[in-house]
């Protein structure tokens, strides 16, 4: 079930919320039931797999908890728990990829990727590691609380990736069972803002993106940049919208979910970008991969190797394909360059740092979105002008002087893959420029909600925004991070 579907907004959510606050007992069980229904609505066939994962990891956590923290016995059980989790996700997410890469044809039935398997698996791996480290403070969670920690529907499908100490303590407090008008108002406002980002902006950019990426080997310089910029903003408003909606839904049930998205396109370095983009994934990679690999505690060469390896595996987490591996490797290279430059103690001017970071991120998204490695390389080469630089214009017009720099000019009508907006191709470039200003300079959702006041002005604005968004739900589209 999708947050941006009518059945979710008008049936599932109101029923889940009303029953939760009307029940005198069993409210957490009710939330587990609704969350499992929410998950099974897409494909009930994979519900037993998630239930097995929950029961296995819960029991494995208890087994590790019964041993001495960080002992050899605890390490053995931790290895077993992580191994089983990786085997499951490896089979469903990466089996076909590795077999194809090795050119092995076993005639396997096509494996359908279970929804949210990356998120609920990583959540539970982090839990097992925390138990091993003794960070659960010898608290043995009951199965109901643990199950809701994993399945709570606002964060189940695309994050945030939660740690046990971010959610379970909240589930154990009586305060979540009290109806809060403030949380209801803020939750509905956040949900409405996120829905507007998804429906009114991200979904409208989708045709621009597909037009360019379906012709990766044919587009020219300006078309490639328009297509990749469109995807840059589509992903921003799609994932940012989901993150807002998830936090808003949590607030409706008096649950505070962590911020997962904080104006990443305002970043002035690639390190800053990864502190703002998919924050809980970045934290997971740092705490459970980069630091265990050695982090920055060894030599500088080892540190760069750890950075590169972490981002390479982070790229593979996003999808089973060489485009994701290459994208992850590119991010690792960016981070190595960033750290090497920072050691020189020569900070760049803010505007230059922002510009370089933004362009580097955009080029990376071109690889990320490409359907194949060949398409991704073709798009990257075109973006960097390796196939020639072709801009819209007339060879005899005012821009003719730039042809002496090796830049070609081509009539707007001959740019076959430039999006047509209201019968004007040039308007697409203006819209992308406006979106650049919005993501780089305007307040984000958290900054807007910091000024929230439950009055008629807020109600009018949010109500109008929600109404326009709901009227635009003529085509329900999946969130982009669902495929990861």
DSSP string, 35-53: HHHHHHTT-GGGHHHHHHH
Closest by CA position to 144, among listed 32, 63, 279: 32
Out of 204, 318, 339, 387, which one is annotated catalytic?
Answer: 318
pLDDT of residue 404: 57
DSSP state of 44: G
In angstroms, the CA 356 to CA 337 distance is 12
| pLDDT attached to residue 401 | 63
Buried residues in 313-342 as b, exposed as e (16+ CB within 10 A): bbbbbbbbbbbbbbbbbbbbbbbbebbeee
Report whether 260 contacts 159 (CB < 8 A): yes
Are 39 and 12 in contact by the 8 Å Cβ rule? The answer is no
**Residue 402: predicted pLDDT:** 67
Question: What confidence score (pLDDT) does residue 108 get?
Answer: 54
26 conformational bin, left if phi > 0, alpha if psi -120 to 50, beta if neither: left
Active-site residue, 204 included: no
Where the chain has pLDDT below 70, the residues are 103-110, 137-139, 395-406, 476, 481-484
Query: 3-class SS at 140?
Result: coil
Whole-number pLDDT of residue 109: 55
DSSP-assigned beta bridge partners for residue 409: 391
Measured CA to CA, the distance from residue 32 to residue 54 in angstroms comes to 12
Cα torsion 299, 301, 304, 308: sign? negative
Instruction: Measure the CA–CA gap between 421 and 211, rounded to whole angstroms.
Output: 13
313 contacts 327 by C-beta, under 8 angstroms: no
* Alpha carbon distance 251, 360 (integer Å): 35
Kindly report the number of other CB atoms within 10 A of residue 444's CB atom.
Answer: 19
**DSSP 8-state code for residue 159:** -
- DSSP for 215-262 reads TTTT--HHHHHHHHHHHHHHHHHHHHHHHHHHHHHHHHTT--PPP---
The pLDDT, as a whole number, for residue 484 is 60
Contact present, 207 and 419 (Cβ < 8 Å)? yes
Strand, coil or helix: 133: coil
* Encoded tokens for 41: 């609505």
User: In which residue are the tokens 């300006």 written?
Assistant: 222
Based on its alpha-carbon atoms, the radius of gyration of the chain, rounded to whole angstroms, reads 24
Chain-centroid distance of CA 411 in Å reads: 38
408 beta partners: 390
Between CA 245 and CA 1 the distance in angstroms is 14
Question: What token pair was written down for 63?
Answer: 């087994």
Reference 132, options 82, 192, 198; nearest CA is 82
Q: DSSP state, 475? A: S
329-369 pLDDT, tens digit per residue, is: 999 999 999 999 998 988 889 999 999 999 999 999 999 99
pLDDT of residue 20: 96
User: Chain-wide mean pLDDT for the chain?
Assistant: 90
pLDDT, one tens digit per residue, over 10-65 is 999 999 999 999 998 999 999 999 999 999 998 899 999 999 999 999 999 999 99
Place of tokens 């362009």: 359
Query: What is the C-alpha separation between 424 and 369, in angstroms, rounded?
Result: 26
Pairwise CA distance, residues 162 & 378, whole Å: 37
Longest CA pairwise span in the chain (Å): 80
pTM (whole model) above 0.85: yes
Please report the pLDDT score of residue 397 as a whole number: 61
In whole angstroms, give the CA distance from residue 163 to residue 441.
32
């Amino acid at each position: 079930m999708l947050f941006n579907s009518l059945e979710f907004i008008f049936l599932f959510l109101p029923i889940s919320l009303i029953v939760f606050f009307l029940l005198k007992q069993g409210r957490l069980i009710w939330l587990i039931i609704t969350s499992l229904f929410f998950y099974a609505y897409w494909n009930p066939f994979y519900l037993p797999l998630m239930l097995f994962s929950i029961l296995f990891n819960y029991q494995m956590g208890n087994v590790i908890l019964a041993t001495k923290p960080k002992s050899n016995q605890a390490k053995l059980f931790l290895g077993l728990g992580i191994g089983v989790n990786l085997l499951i996700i490896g089979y469903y997410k990466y089996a076909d990829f590795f077999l194809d890469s090795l050119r092995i044809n076993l005639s396997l039935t096509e494996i359908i990727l279970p929804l949210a398997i990356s998120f609920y698996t990583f959540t539970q791996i982090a839990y097992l590691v925390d138990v091993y480290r003794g960070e659960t403070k010898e608290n043995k969670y009951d199965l109901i609380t643990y199950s809701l920690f994993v399945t709570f529907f606002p964060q189940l499908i695309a994050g945030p990736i939660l740690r046990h100490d971010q959610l379970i303590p909240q589930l154990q407090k009586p305060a979540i069972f009290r109806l809060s008008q403030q949380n209801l108002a803020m939750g509905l406002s956040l949900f409405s803002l996120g829905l507007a980002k998804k429906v009114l902006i991200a979904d409208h950019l989708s045709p621009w993106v597909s037009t360019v990426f379906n012709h990766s080997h044919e587009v020219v310089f300006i078309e490639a940049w328009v297509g990749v910029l469109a995807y840059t903003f589509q992903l921003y408003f799609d994932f940012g919208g989901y993150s807002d909606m998830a936090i808003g839904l949590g607030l409706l049930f008096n649950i505070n979910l962590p911020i997962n998205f904080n104006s990443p396109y305002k970043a002035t370095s690639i390190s800053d970008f990864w502190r703002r983009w998919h924050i809980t994934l970045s934290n997971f990679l740092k705490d459970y991969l980069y630091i265990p690999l050695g982090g920055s505690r060894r030599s500088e060469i080892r540190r760069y190797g750890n950075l590169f390896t972490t981002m390479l595996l982070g790229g593979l987490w996003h999808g089973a394909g060489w485009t994701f591996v290459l994208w992850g490797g590119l991010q690792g290279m960016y981070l190595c360059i960033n750290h090497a430059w920072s050691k020189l103690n020569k900070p760049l001017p803010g505007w230059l740092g922002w510009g370089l970071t933004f362009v580097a991120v955009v080029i990376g998204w071109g690889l990320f979105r490409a359907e194949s490695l060949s398409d991704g390389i073709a798009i990257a080469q075109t973006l960097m002008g390796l196939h020639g630089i072709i801009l819209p214009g007339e060879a005899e017009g005012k821009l003719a002087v730039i042809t002496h720099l090796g830049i070609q000019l081509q009539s707007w009508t001959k740019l076959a893959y430039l999006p047509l907006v209201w019968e004007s191709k040039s308007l697409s470039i203006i819209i992308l420029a406006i979106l650049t200003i919005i993501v780089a300079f305007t307040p984000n959702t958290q900054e807007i909600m910091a000024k929230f006041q439950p009055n008629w002005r807020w109600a009018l604005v949010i109500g109008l925004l929600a109404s326009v968004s709901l009227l635009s739900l003529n085509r329900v589209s999946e969130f982009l991070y669902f495929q990861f």
